[in-house]
């Protein structure tokens, strides 16, 4: 008769097992013996375990008197003789025999045969258990990998499939989780009026828990943004919705901004995220706004700030996986290094490719990524033909009696700028590009830029009173001997006043208004200045002579 192994999956320390294992064939026992085939699960603290390990030989169950639940089970099942199977100090199974068919006691020969059998069976049983364990682990790994594949697919569907296509803007993005799935995210939310919402976030922790919180946060932000709330209000709403349900010790840092691509005007708020950087021609600055991470506590307020990205300027949004990366000597990439790299950036490759290459050089080969990395850049690209890419309000024309008709003035371009604080920088950038063919000396170019900036600010503030629907119009004209710039607002007729020389002592003594320097400054920055009015517009003309022309300043 073939015997039957009843065994348990036991490893020190013992854990209660509820799995039943398949019987293994063993050498035949005499047909006078009866095998008891009942499943046995032994608790790790059962007194019988210690006894089996101390006496690894055939044991007559009736003669044992221990406070052991399993011993009571064996007796109730009619087990008379049990043989513990011990391998490498662990109990891996039992051979249980009931009473003999002849009703005689088991002989010493029977017990010796069981001991010999156990010596061979215990190692084989342990190997069989190891094989089954490996198979179970392989199935578990396959299940986990399948779940991760599904989670990765779901997360990838939540990230933007395409980058925004904005005239005069270049948008790039890069996302690399440290694990199969991660907690970083970025998003672009289009508005019906052409504005663009921009989101970069980072969930504490990594893996599937962070990915689930990431998906929830993204949905909340998108839903809030559709209500056309300001960036600060969007973050407030997201924080209050996240707080009740976010897992303990988890939170989300997030930067949210709304960009007007036409003007470059950017309004933003920050929920504890790493500060974005704005850079242009070697100058790097931070975009600061205060606010607590999302999900930490309810009722938070998020400060809003605004800035205008002029043509040529760029902005970097990123997660801390970049700045907190370490090399082989445990040096950190760090914020100072990032600022230095942005200051040295040249437009030979994209900013993201540039930063990734620098990160790879810093970390070296064999680097194990520690945290998710997200990079998003916005570049306001200087255009070559402003007439094709800016809003043209009217065809270029020359006002009668404004500039001497004998100079044969030719209108070149006309473009408009929304009336918003800081947009004088756009005017400066446009003028700098368009007057390059005239090769003004550096000093005179700076004087012209100063005059244009002051005149544009006056037009936006005093003429249009910062109403965005009332743009400031700039027109560039040229002759053989000079260039002229007209700056017009929608303020209508304003009495012409000659610029007065300011009384510096009176202004410093606060006896006069500190204002009133504008026209005086403009007049002293250019060769000629004229003020024109009609019933619809107020215009200031700035004339700058070219080298060699009749208006050029004479050398001393």
Query: Which is more confidently placed, 46 or 437?
Result: 437
Could you read off the pLDDT of 60-72 as tens digits, one per residue? 888 888 888 878 8
Most confidently predicted of 11-25, 163-177, 484-498: 163-177
d(CA 434, CA 386): 9
Report whether 167 contacts 232 (CB < 8 A): no
Please compute the mean of the pLDDT values over residues 306-320 and round it to a whole number: 93
Q: What tokens appear for 117 in the block?
A: 């059998």
Please compute the mean of the pLDDT values over residues 249-265 and round it to a whole number: 93
Residue 7 has pLDDT above 50, yes or no: no
pLDDT of residue 26: 39
d(CA 338, CA 358): 9
Residue 399 has pLDDT above 50, yes or no: no
pLDDT of residue 70: 78
What's the pLDDT band for 523 if we cut at 50, 70, 90?
Answer: confident
Residue 510 has pLDDT above 70, yes or no: no
Report whether 6 contacts 93 (CB < 8 A): yes
| Chain position carrying tokens 């604080």 | 421
Could you read off the pLDDT of 154-185 as tens digits, one per residue? 666 678 888 998 988 999 999 888 776 677 88
Beta bridge partners of 133: none
- In 3D, which of 389, 387, 449, 396 has the Cα closest to residue 424? 449
pLDDT of residue 144: 67
pLDDT of residue 420: 77
d(CA 257, CA 270): 9
Report whether 39 contacts 62 (CB < 8 A): no
Report whether 378 contacts 198 (CB < 8 A): yes
First-residue to last-residue Cα distance in the chain: 125
Q: What are phi and psi of 253, to 5 degrees?
A: -90, 145
Global pTM reads 0.52
Strands (E) in 28-162, as ranges, are 59-60, 81-87, 90-97
Residue 4 has pLDDT above 70, yes or no: no
Q: What tokens appear for 544 in the block?
A: 């700058």
pLDDT of residue 458: 87
d(CA 9, CA 132): 10
pLDDT of residue 243: 93
pLDDT of residue 492: 60
pLDDT of residue 69: 83
* Number of helical H runs and strand E runs in the chain: 13, 19
pLDDT of residue 119: 78
- For 307, the 3-state DSSP assignment is strand
Q: Which DSSP string do the residues of 357-417 spell out, in sequence order?
A: HHHHHHH-TT----S-EEEEEEEEPPPS-HHHHS---S-----TTTS-GGG--EEEEEEEE
pLDDT of residue 16: 34
Please compute the mean of the pLDDT values over residues 439-458 and round it to a whole number: 89
Q: What are phi and psi of 473, to 5 degrees?
A: -100, 130
Q: Is the dihedral of CA 70, 72, 77, 78 positive or negative?
A: positive
Q: What percent of the chain has pLDDT above 90? A: 28
Residue 517 has pLDDT above 70, yes or no: no
Most confidently predicted of 117-131, 205-219, 476-490: 476-490
Most confidently predicted of 244-248, 483-487, 513-517: 483-487
Please compute the mean of the pLDDT values over residues 78-99 and round it to a whole number: 82
Report whether 33 contacts 53 (CB < 8 A): no
Query: Which is more confidently placed, 471 or 506?
Result: 471
Q: b vs e for 377-412, b when ≥16 Cβ sit within 10 Å of the residue's Cβ? A: bbbbbeeeebeeebeeeeeeeeeeebbeeebebeeb
Residue 483 has pLDDT above 60, yes or no: yes
Report whether 468 contacts 460 (CB < 8 A): no
Query: Which is more confidently placed, 299 or 465?
Result: 299
Give the DSSP letter of residue 437. Answer: G
Please compute the mean of the pLDDT values over residues 378-385 and round it to a whole number: 72
Which range is least confidently modeled, 10-14, 235-239, 456-460?
A: 10-14
d(CA 434, CA 389): 14
d(CA 416, CA 312): 18
pLDDT of residue 211: 79
pLDDT of residue 468: 66
pLDDT of residue 471: 84
The radius of gyration of the chain from alpha carbons, rounded to an integer in Å, stands at: 41
- The total of other beta-carbon atoms located within 10 Å of residue 449's CB is 19
Most confidently predicted of 62-71, 84-93, 298-307, 533-542: 298-307
Order of all β-strands in the sheet with 283-286: 169-176, 373-380, 314-318, 277-280, 283-286
Which range is least confidently modeled, 61-70, 145-154, 275-284, 419-428?
A: 145-154
pLDDT of residue 40: 61
Most confidently predicted of 197-201, 440-444, 492-496: 197-201
d(CA 233, CA 239): 10
Which range is least confidently modeled, 85-94, 121-130, 132-141, 506-515?
A: 506-515
d(CA 470, CA 211): 45
Residue 104 has pLDDT above 50, yes or no: yes
Query: Which domains are assigned to the chain?
Result: 5-133 (3.30.450), 159-380 (3.60.40.10), 386-545 (3.30.565.10)
């Amino acid at each position: 008769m073939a015997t039957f192994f009843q065994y348990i999956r036991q490893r020190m320390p013992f854990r209660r097992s509820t799995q039943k294992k398949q019987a293994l064939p063993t050498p035949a026992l005499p047909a006078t013996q009866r095998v008891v085939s009942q499943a046995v699960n032994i608790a790790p603290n059962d007194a019988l375990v210690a006894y089996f390990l101390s006496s690894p030989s055939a044991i007559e169950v009736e003669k044992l008197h221990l406070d052991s639940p399993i011993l009571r089970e064996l007796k109730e099942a009619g087990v008379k003789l049990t043989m513990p199977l011990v391998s490498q100090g662990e109990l891996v199974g039992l051979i249980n025999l009931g009473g003999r068919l002849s009703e005689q006691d088991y002989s010493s020969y029977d017990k010796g045969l069981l001991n010999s059998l156990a010596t061979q069976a215990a190692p084989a049983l342990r190997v069989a258990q190891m094989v089954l364990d490996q198979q179970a682990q392989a199935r578990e790994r396959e299940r986990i990998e399948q779940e991760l594949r599904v989670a990765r697919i779901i997360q990838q569907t939540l990230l933007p499939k395409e980058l925004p296509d904005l005239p005069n803007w270049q948008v790039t993005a890069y996302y690399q989780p440290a694990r199969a799935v991660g907690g970083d995210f970025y998003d672009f939310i289009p508005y019906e009026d052409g504005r663009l919402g921009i989101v970069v976030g980072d969930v504490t922790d990594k893996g599937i828990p962070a990915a689930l919180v990431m998906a929830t946060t993204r949905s909340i932000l998108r839903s809030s943004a559709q209500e056309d709330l300001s960036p600060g209000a969007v973050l407030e709403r997201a924080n209050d919705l996240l707080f009740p349900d976010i897992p303990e010790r988890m939170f989300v840092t997030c930067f949210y901004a709304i960009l007007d691509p036409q003007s470059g005007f950017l309004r933003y708020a920050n929920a504890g995220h790493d500060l974005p950087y704005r850079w242009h021609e070697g100058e790097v600055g931070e975009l600061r706004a205060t606010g607590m991470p999302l999900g930490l506590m309810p009722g938070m307020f998020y400060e809003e700030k605004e800035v205008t990205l002029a043509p040529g300027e760029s902005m970097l949004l990123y997660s801390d996986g970049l700045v907190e990366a370490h090399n082989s000597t445990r040096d950190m990439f760090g914020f100072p290094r990032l600022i230095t790299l942005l200051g040295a950036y040249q437009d030979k490759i994209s900013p993201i490719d540039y930063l990734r290459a620098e990160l790879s050089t810093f970390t070296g080969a064999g680097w194990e990524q520690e945290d998710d990395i997200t990079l998003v850049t916005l570049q306001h690209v200087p255009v070559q033909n402003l007439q094709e890419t800016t809003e043209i309000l009217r065809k270029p024309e020359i006002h009668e009696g404004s500039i001497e008709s004998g100079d044969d003035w030719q209108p070149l371009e006309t473009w408009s700028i929304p009336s918003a604080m800081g947009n004088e920088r756009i005017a400066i950038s446009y003028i700098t590009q368009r007057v390059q063919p005239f090769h003004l000396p550096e000093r005179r170019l700076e004087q012209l830029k100063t005059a244009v900036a002051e005149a544009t600010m006056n037009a936006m503030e005093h003429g249009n009173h910062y109403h965005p629907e009332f743009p400031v119009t700039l027109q560039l004209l040229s002759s053989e001997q000079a260039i002229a710039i007209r700056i017009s607002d929608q303020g209508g007729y304003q009495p012409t006043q000659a610029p007065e020389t300011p009384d510096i002592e009176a202004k410093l003594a606060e006896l006069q208004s500190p204002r009133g320097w504008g026209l005086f400054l403009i007049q002293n920055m250019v060769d000629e200045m004229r003020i024109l009015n009609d019933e619809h517009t107020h215009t200031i003309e700035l004339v700058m002579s070219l080298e060699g022309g009749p208006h050029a300043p004479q050398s001393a």
